[in-house]
Amino acid sequence: MRPTEAVSQLRPRLSLRGRLYLFSGAILILFAINVGTSLWGSFARNESSLAYQEAVSAAQLTAELEQNLQNKRQQILVLATLRETTEEPLDAPALEQARTDFEIISERLRQLGGFGGEELEPYYRRLHDSATALLDEWNQFYENYNDTAATPNVESASSYNKTKRHLQELDQRQSSVAVQRGDTIDRTITLTDQITVIGFISSIAITLALVFAMIRSTNASLTRMKQGVERFGSGDLTYRIDARRDAGEIGDLASTFNDMSTKLQSAIEETNAARADADSANAAKSMFLANVSHELRTPLNAIIGYSEMLQDELGDGIDIDRKQFHHDLATIIFSGKQLLTLINDILDLSKIETGKMQVTREVFNPASILVQVCDALSPLLTQNNNRLVLDIDKDSMRDINSDRGKLQQIVTNLFSNACKFTKDGDITVSASMASNTLVVAVADTGIGMTKAQQERVFDAFTQAESNTGLKYGGTGLGLAIVREFCTMLGGDITAESQPDQGSVFRVTLPADPVSIPADA
C-alpha cells in the first residue's frame, strides 16, 4: 500500500468533529508555511524516491527470505517422513544443494540487515539470532541424515515459528517506518507544490476545496443515514447502513440503527416462529381431540349397546343363550379395557407433562415381564391374523433394578402398535443384556414408515399421517409415553423402518439403579 493510499483510508474513519479540527488546522498551516516550503521541495522529492525504493527492496527481500525458509522447512519435513518410512540415504548432490540453500538464506539475511538503520537494529538482531539457530538445527539434520545409528531430529515447530514471527515483526516495522517516512515526505511535496507555485491564491483555493470536501463527505454520511432510516421506516429491516464508511458520532449512530434493526427483526422472526408453533400445536391438539372423541365413542357404544342387548334378553323371560351371553359380556369387558387404556394414556401423559410421574424401582427379571405381556396380549394377534416370535436370550438375562410397571407399559404399547399396523405378518419380541444394559426390540412386518414419518412418530398428539387414527385407531399418545418412560428410566428408544417393510423399535435401558432417575 502506498503512503498516499494509507492517508486516504484514514480520512473516512475520522469523526465529524475530527474532520472539523483537521480541516481548520490544515487551513491555518497552509498560510503559515507558504513561504518556507519552496526551499526544501526538491530535497523532499529525492527523499521520497529513495524511501520508496528502499521500502520496496526490503519488502521483496523479506518475502523472498520467508519463502526460502518455508520451502526449506517443507523439504526437511518430507525428508524426515521418508527417513522414517524408507530409510533411503541422501546422495551427495542433495546434501550439496542443501548447503547451497543455507548459504542463500544466510546471504538474504545479511542483505536484510542493511535496511532500516539503527531503528530496526533490535528487530534484525532478534531475527538473526533465531534464524541462525534454526539453520544450525537444519544443518545438523542433514549431517545426521545418512547416519543409520543416529536418529535425525527435525527442528521443533517453535524454532521455525519464532524465526517466522521475528521476520514478520521486522517486516511490519520496516513497513511502518517506510509508511511514516513516505507519508511525511509526500505531505511535504504536496504542500510545497501547492503553496510555492500558487501562493496566497492557491491557499484560498485549497481552503475552499477542503471546505467543499468536508461538506461533501458530511452530506454523504447524513444521506446514508437518511436513506437507512427511510428503509427501516418502510419495513425493510434487512437493510443495513454501511457504518464502516463513517466514524465517530455518525458511525456510532449508524451502528445503533443497525443493531436496533437486527433486534427488531429477530423479535419479529421469533414472534412469527412462536405463532407458527402455536398454530401447529393447536392443530395437533385439535386432531388429537377428534381422535380421542372417536376412540372414546367406539368402546362406549359397544359397552352401552351390548349392555342394552343383555338387559333386553333378561327381560324377555326366555331361556338365555349362555354362549352368546358370555360372548357379549366378553365384548363389554374388552371395550371397557380399551376405554381404561385410553384414559390411562391421557392421565400418564398429563402426569409426565406436570412432572408428577414417579419412578418406583424394584429388582425383577425382565424376561418374565416380556413373557407375561406377550401372553396377555396374545388376543391382539388373532385380530389381524399375526404370528408371535419370542426371542429372549435367557443366557444373558439377569435381574435388574428398575420400574417394573413402566417396562411392562413400554412393551405393551410397542406390542399393541405392532399388532395394529401389521396384517398376516410376524411380530417379533426380542431381548438381551450386554454389560449393564437391557435391550428390548419389537419388530413387525407391517406397513412401515417413511423417514419424515419417523421424525415425528414420538411426538405427543401426533400420528404418522392425519388419517392414521381414523384408519387404524389410536390417539398418538402411545409412543410419546414410551419415549418419556425410557428417558425417565435413564434409557433411550430408536426406530428403524421402511415403507411396506415393517418397523423395529429398540429400547435400551440401564440395569444399574444409579443410572435411573428417582423421579420425573
What residues pair up with 483 in beta bridges, in sequence order?
none
User: How many whole angstroms separate alpha carbon 512 and alpha carbon 520?
Assistant: 17
As a whole number of angstroms, the distance between CA 52 and CA 192 comes to 19
Look at residue 429 and tell me whether its pLDDT is greater than 90: yes
pLDDT tens track for 131-179: 787 777 777 777 777 776 666 565 556 777 887 787 777 777 777 777 7
Per-residue pLDDT tens digits for 376-426: 888 888 888 999 999 999 888 888 999 888 888 899 889 888 888 899 999
Where are the domains positioned within the chain? 3-232, 357-515
Contact present, 441 and 492 (Cβ < 8 Å): no
For 389, the 3-state DSSP assignment is: strand
Is 0.85 surpassed by the pTM of this model?
no
AA letter at 307:
S
Rounded to whole angstroms, the Cα distance separating 169 from 163 reads 10
Q: Is residue 517 pLDDT above 50, yes or no?
A: no
What's the pLDDT score for residue 249?
65
- Residue 338 pLDDT: 61
What is the residue type of 414?
Answer: L
pLDDT digits (tens, 9 = 90+) for 27-59: 777 767 666 666 666 666 666 666 667 777 777
Which whole-number Å values give the CA distances from 46 to 115, 242, 503, in the listed order?
18, 40, 86
CATH architecture entry for 357-515: 2-Layer Sandwich (3.30)
Give the orientation angle of helix 322-354 with respect to helix 248-316, to 10 degrees: 160
